[in-house]
Chain A
Amino acid sequence: MKQFGCFRLDTGNECLWREEEQIALPPRTFMVLRYLVEHPGRLITHDELLDALWPETYVQPQVLRTYMLELRKLLGDDAAEPRFIQTLPKRGYCFMAAVCECAEPERGAGPSHARDGARAITKGIVGRDEELDRLLQQMALAACGERQVVFVTGEVGIGKTALVDAFCHELGAEWSVARGQCVDGFGEKEEYYPMMEALGQLCAPGSGDAAAGVMARMAPAWMRALGRVHDTATVTNTERMPGDLCAALEQIADDKPLMLVFEDLHWADPSTLQLIVALSRRRAPAKLMVVATCSAGDAEHPQRAMRQNLLMRQLAAEVALGPLTQSAVRELLNRELAQEKLPQGLPGFVHQHSEGNPLFAIAIVEHLIARRFLVRQQRDGALEWQPAGPIEEMEAEVPDRVAQMIELEIESLSADEQRVLGAGSVMGIAFPAWAVAAALDEDQAAIEEACAGLARRVHFVERGGQDELPDGTRSEFYVFVHGLYREVLYRRQAATRRAEWHKHIADRLGVMFRGREWAVAREVAMHREAAGEWAAAAEALRHAARHANASGARDEAAALLDDVHRLEENAPGANGSLAAKDGTNAAGEGTNRQGHRKLQIVSEKLDEFWTGS
């Protein structure tokens, strides 16, 4: 066993220990870490690492970044100030920490002991007991020969991989597990890429010799593609036939139940998808289970149609991950901060801004620490994380890591699509197509089509419902699935562009509701204010106040004039003329001092003012 920092790499059990806590690692991630730890203190080039981990297979060096990100997260390492893994740009990596040999743990403290402790191994996940149980139920069916295909779905960062990792860890030695990672952009270039990765693990020299024997006998072309057939002349047909592989996998599963895991199936190639369909539709009993993670996005990707088809025919099951509850977020924070008692209000703050997304929740905590909103302080003789100020005053900024991730997704869209979403972000979380059309001064039908296309293809936008327009027509509105996406999109727009869009939307509202502008006065005022048209914003509210007063809705009129006061106070260079003109300044001040009494005063003043005007 190799020790570095507070970690021990357990090569016997293929896991990592942080003091007494066992950390589950996917097989490939473990292999990357193992290679780094076994070669400390020197440059390990991309090619060296790739040759060691994917012998005789071409893999793009970018794949390594994914593993390094995952390892840094597990080790609590920072790429900017690394303690363990240093990136040497364009060359490779260096494992910086001192590594020494240490004794094996006592028997009973290893994985089997951890598994006995019910959910002890699921420390990596919180709030997913129900979903984990569902996977285990499916596994029990597969163990009886009833083959299973399960899709684990949910938005980016919701914890699909973490759940599958925890699940695989529960399987123990009774199951063979082989995993394949689908990679963005590989689907079009390399057929069966994730399947080949999984087969490489399944037939690994040593532990996979039996499986390799079956493969060589029943699916030799696949073994040849793996580079595991030395006498290539014996393989007459070099085409990888799906039927051969299905039969070979069933045979392998007959000796020992087999779990195939495919990650990010939304990036898979069509051949891999067809292979999964074939595996699910074959009739013969097989102790075989396929678990595939996929995000909900891109309705046009064949993965979505394939998934729907299998679900509809009850040939597959779906475990859909929703947002974490506040108590689960609390548990996550307990773990991330290694602190039982959390500062009052922190779980609520993180839950609200992450909307229950664990990746975003962790990023928010890291951000709060980096910005020193959360600091370590001595309390009762121990160091504890405490807020530097009142939690309600913490800035709800988008964490840098999340912002970069979202930026990358936005950059992959066309310029027109970015413009549509940018204009939508001006409206808020929900954005109607008519408003986007107004902002961009474009045809509404064309924008409706563009938005519908985005909702089909992009995972972070979905159809929300409809706005009923005053002329009796309807316009679809769309929703950003997470507020952070809207925030990043909004921040990307130049201030003058945003102001222009707000102005256009206010103008369109004025046209749509001509003759009854009072009905949209607050919305118009909001857009005029954002456009910097303070006087026009105030006038819209005053107009609505007049209408409310004439209708006998004095409280409403008073509330609208209150908004005029707020505008007056916030307007650059404001001198109070707007409010003074309507004679309600005194009442406005009374609001602050006397609260409820304000409405009465304003009503009285309104009587005087409107009668006289």
Chain B
Amino acid sequence: MRSILPKFVLASAIAAMAALTTSNALADMKVNVPFSFTVNGKVCPAGYYSIGHDDLTGMVTLRNESWQRNFAWPMSSGDPAPTDGRVILRFDKEGDNYTLQSVQYRSLIAAQLDGKKHNNEAPTRVVMGR
């Protein structure tokens, strides 16, 4: 069982972390999420999100430039193959409500972001980075 500790951090904290670790940061990927969704109990609007990863801290960040909140989670290796180069957001869909379930950044993944185990019984929608 992986230990996944979702952390909600304010923009300023992320900015400070980014400033300290710029040299370790990989290029951000853009993801267009066409629906609003919930993550860690916060509602995020539809739009373009940047997903970045920092090698030093092992954290993945989710940012929307026109929005005041950012998110960061620790990543671990998991289901994705070591050669997987994709960036994927996976959402649980319930009616018109979407909840962010996991963030895959290449071969790393932050899963169970909604604190639920998933047995593929509920509909899932997947959005990929570009």
Contact = CB atoms under 8 A, between A and B. Distances in A.
Interface of A: 322, 325-326, 428-430, 464-468, 470, 474, 477, 479, 513, 516, 519-520, 522-523, 525-526
Contact of B126 (A466, A479, A520, A525): A466
Nearest to B92: A519
A428 B128 CA distance: 19
Given A326-B66, A430-B34, A516-B121, A526 B126 contact: no
19 contacts: A325-B66, A428-B96, A429-B34, A429-B35, A430-B34, A464-B34, A464-B127, A466-B126, A466-B128, A474-B126, A479-B32, A479-B34, A513-B123, A519-B123, A520-B122, A523-B95, A523-B123, A526-B95, A526-B96
Contacts of B121: 470, 516, 519
B30 to A, nearest CB: 10
A526 B97 CA distance: 12
A430 B35 CA distance: 8
Nearest to A324: B66
B69 interface: no
A467 B96 contact: no
Interface in B87-126: 93-97, 120-126
Contacts of A430: 34-35, 125
B81 to A, nearest CB: 17
A522 B124 CA distance: 14
Contacts of A520: 122-123
The 10 A-B pairs with the shortest beta carbon distances in the complex, nearest first, are A522-B95, A465-B127, A479-B34, A468-B124, A519-B122, A466-B126, A430-B34, A465-B126, A523-B95, A519-B121
A465 B128 contact: yes
Interface string B2-27: 00000000000000000000000000
Given A429-B34, A430-B125, A468-B123, 11 more contacts: A325-B66, A464-B32, A464-B34, A466-B128, A467-B126, A468-B125, A468-B126, A470-B121, A519-B122, A519-B123, A526-B96
B125 A477 contact: yes
A520 B96 CA distance: 11
Contact of B94 (A428, A474, A479, A522): A522
Interface residues of B, number: 20
Interface of B: 32, 34-35, 46, 48, 66, 93-97, 120-128
A324 to B, nearest CB: 10
Contact of A523 (B94, B120, B124): B94
A523 to B, nearest CB: 5
B125 A465 contact: yes
A337 B24 CA distance: 48
A268 to B, nearest CB: 26
Contacts of B66: 325-326
Nearest to A432: B125
A322 B123 CA distance: 31
B96 to A, nearest CB: 7
Contacts of B125: 430, 465-468, 477
A553 to B, nearest CB: 11
B130 to A, nearest CB: 10
Contacts of B46: 429
A211 to B, nearest CB: 43
A526 B35 CA distance: 17
A73 to B, nearest CB: 27
Contacts of A464: 32, 34, 127
A66 B87 CA distance: 43
B68 to A, nearest CB: 12
A244 B34 CA distance: 49
A288 B122 CA distance: 58
Contacts of B126: 465-468, 474
Contacts of B35: 428-430
A520 B124 CA distance: 11
Contacts of A474: 126
Nearest to B66: A325
Contacts of A428: 35, 96
A429 B32 CA distance: 13
Contacts of A522: 94-97
A474 B88 CA distance: 14
A325 B66 CA distance: 7
Contacts of A519: 121-123
